Amino acid sequence: MTDRLWRAQLTLVWAFGLAVFAFLYALLGGVHGGNSNSVYDMVYGPLPEGTSVRGSITQPFGVLTLLAMVAAWLVPLLAALLAWRGRRALKGEGEQSLRDRIQAGTIAAYVIVALYLTPVGWTLVYGLTRWTAMNIWGEGPDAANLG
């Protein structure tokens, strides 16, 4: 049971939380051309008829989405690892305050693993990946000819 394990768990939780932050932030903007009442459509659906989005590598917010995408892909692997490591560590002896922190971190890691088994996790990964691609390469019939 070490402080390093707790720090890794805390980093994992914040990385996941910041990926969710970037996802919710991108839902507010118009990466996908417009605000729909259905989040499902905005993540999985095609762009509205006749709409194209121009991509550019220099978009500042594209970098945010890109980082969030990387986090969203890596988080489930790390969460599984840290949940297992935490469970093993909690079987041993340790100082009470460190034990409390690792217990919280382990529960959080389990919750994150569970979320990736539900549409919440897949949507996060799919949405961030699609919007990153859209930010860089654009999407739609006129994507190459815009501005």
Partner 1 sequence: MDLVPKIGESYAPSVSAPAPRFLAARLLVAAQLASVALYVAGAAIPYLFLFTFQGTTHCSADIGCQAPGDALPGVLGWFAVPAILIAMVGPPLATLSLLMSFTSLARRRRQMPDGLRRWMYLAGGLTVAFIAFTLTPPGRLLLNWILD
Which positions touch partner 1 (CB under 8 A)? 10, 13-14, 17-18, 20-21, 24-25, 27-28, 35-39, 96-97, 100-101, 104-105, 108
Contact between 89 and 102 (Cβ < 8 Å): yes
Amino acid residing at 16: F
Radius of gyration of the chain (CA): 19
Nearer to partner 1, 39 or 144 (CB): 39
Min dist. Cβ of residue 86 to partner 1 (A): 12
Q: Both tokens of residue 41? A: 């459509």
Q: Both tokens of residue 27? A: 């839902």
Residue 60, CB-side half-sphere exposure with 13 Å CA sphere = 0
Nearer to partner 1, 24 or 117 (CB): 24
Nearer to partner 1, 96 or 145 (CB): 96
Question: What whole-number distance in Å separates Cα of residue 85 and Cα of residue 63?
Answer: 32
Nearer to partner 1, 34 or 141 (CB): 34
Question: What whole-number distance in Å separates Cα of residue 65 and Cα of residue 138?
Answer: 14
Min dist. Cβ of residue 141 to partner 1 (A): 26
Min dist. Cβ of residue 102 to partner 1 (A): 9
Min dist. Cβ of residue 144 to partner 1 (A): 29
